[in-house]
Amino acid sequence: MGSYITKRLLISIPLVLVISFVTFGFIHLSPLDPAEVVLHSQGIPTITDELLAQTRAKLGMDQPFLTRYLNWVVSCLQLDFGDSYVTGKPVWSMLGPAFLHTLKLTLVSTFAIVVLSIVLGVACALNAGKWVDKSVRGISFCLTSMPSYWLAALLIWYFSVKLDLLPTSGMESYKSYILPVIVITISYAGIYFRMIRSSMLSNMNEDYVLYARASGLTEKKITMHILRNSLQVSISVFCMAVPIILGSTVVVENIFAWPGLGTLSVKSILSRDFPIIQAYVLVLAVSFILFNTVSDIINAALNPKLRDGL
């Protein structure tokens, strides 16, 4: 298992390098001149060619592409993503806290998604075709089909305005987490629990279940074996849920005024703040690779066949 983890981590290194190159390259394909963006954001009325050249030199834009890329990678490794074109502050001082806020929301939501999906998936599979299964699937279908901004608005109206139990927005106490977590959880768990249900159902027809039953094992033990095998498919999906939620909280963050990545990224894109966009894309890409690696490692721990494959 140790050698599997080492190999898997080593494979991730070239992936990160490729992604960082693509991220850097794409931003520089943009027709906008960063020097112009900086000067505009500083409110300079007339932009002369001389001024542009000076600013380019200051930003290091006069150097060759590869030199700039290498300098950027080396600084990124030290968590130095440059300064924001708009505010002039270091990127990490803006991105770091926003990332942490979104990460907290994401992790709490993922935890809720995993627990809810497993509980509902197992309950539905064990009662397949009965009213529990049918009603859970029916209700989840209705909830999942609601757009998250609509669901969020309904929840705010009922719990915050009508009952005055929870805050409408912001990030003050644990209470602030409840509504955004519910909105995120409903949209993901409604899909994921079906996956666990169908995976459980197909495992229930496997011969190892028949043999376990024929050997006189208790239903509780048999269910644990089925669950262990059924979760293998879902582990990857659960792990990938973390980076997916990290990168898709824009709507929820805006509705609940959550000071996270979603809010920051939209603001940066609108103001063409390249260093922040670049760092944002890189951080998300690295988290995709990281959680993909984690999911592979967990899967290998659960499924011995995968360990032999690498």
Partner 1 sequence: MTNILEVKNLKIWDSRNERVIVPNSSFHVKQGSCLAIVGESGSGKSVTCKAIMRLNKAGIRQSGDILLRGINLMELSEQEMRKKRGKQLCMILQSSMRAFDPSCVVGVHLQETLVEHFGWSREEITTKMKNAMESVRLKNPIEVMNTYPHQLSGGMLQRVMIALTIVLEPDIIIADEPTTALDTVSQFEVVEQFRQLRERMGCSMIFISHDLGIVKLMADDVLVMKEGEIVENGTTQAIFSEPQHTYTRYLLSTKLALNQHFKRIMGGVSVAEG
Could you tell me the CA-to-CA distances from 8 to 17, 34, 227, 284 in Å, in that order? 15, 38, 25, 19
Round to whole Å and give the CA distance between 197 and 124: 6
| Under rule CB under 8 A, residue 216 binds partner 1 | yes
Give the rounded distance of the alpha carbon of 309 from its chain centre: 28
Q: Are 98 and 260 in contact (CB under 8 A)?
A: yes
CB of 248 to partner 1, least distance (A): 32
Q: Are 6 and 310 in contact (CB under 8 A)?
A: no
Burial (CB count within 10 angstroms: exposed 0-12, middle 13-18, buried 19+), residue 180: buried
With CB under 8 A as the contact rule, the residue among 23, 176, 199, 229 that binds partner 1 is 229
**Of the listed pieces 133-141, 189-197, 283-291, 301-309, which binds partner 1 according to CB under 8 A?**
301-309
Burial (CB count within 10 angstroms: exposed 0-12, middle 13-18, buried 19+), residue 163: exposed
Round to whole Å and give the CA distance between 5 and 14: 16
**Of the listed pieces 10-18, 143-151, 166-174, 220-228, which binds partner 1 according to CB under 8 A?**
220-228
CB of 6 to partner 1, least distance (A): 21
Helix (H, G, I), strand (E, B) or coil at 83: strand
Which residue lies nearer to partner 1 by CB, 15 or 306? 306
CB of 212 to partner 1, least distance (A): 7
With CB under 8 A as the contact rule, the residue among 2, 43, 45, 304 that binds partner 1 is 304
| Under rule CB under 8 A, residue 232 binds partner 1 | yes
| Under rule CB under 8 A, residue 234 binds partner 1 | no
| Under rule CB under 8 A, residue 302 binds partner 1 | yes
CB of 229 to partner 1, least distance (A): 6
Count of residues near partner 1 by CB under 8 A: 22
Round to whole Å and give the CA distance between 290 and 277: 20
CB of 117 to partner 1, least distance (A): 20
Which residue lies nearer to partner 1 by CB, 32 or 310? 310
Strand partners, 90: 83
CB of 230 to partner 1, least distance (A): 10
With CB under 8 A as the contact rule, the residue among 161, 218, 266, 269 that binds partner 1 is 218
Instruction: Please report how many Cα atoms fall inside a 13 Å half-sphere around the Cα of residue 136, on the Cβ side.
Output: 25
Q: By C-alpha distance, which of 308, 218, 277, 260 is closest to 81?
A: 277
What phi, psi does 83 have (nearest 5°)? -110, 150
With CB under 8 A as the contact rule, the residue among 66, 215, 220, 309 that binds partner 1 is 215
Which residue lies nearer to partner 1 by CB, 229 or 278? 229
Q: Are 193 and 121 in contact (CB under 8 A)?
A: yes
Cβ atoms within 10 Å, residue 14: 9
Q: By C-alpha distance, which of 107, 140, 81 is closest to 291?
A: 107
Interface mask toward partner 1 for 175-214; x: CB under 8 A: ------------------------------xxxx-xxxxx
Which residue lies nearer to partner 1 by CB, 62 or 206? 206
Token pair for residue 207? 């011969």
CB of 193 to partner 1, least distance (A): 21
| Under rule CB under 8 A, residue 310 binds partner 1 | no
| Under rule CB under 8 A, residue 303 binds partner 1 | yes
Binding site for partner 1 (CB under 8 A): 205-208, 210-218, 221, 225, 228-229, 232, 302-305
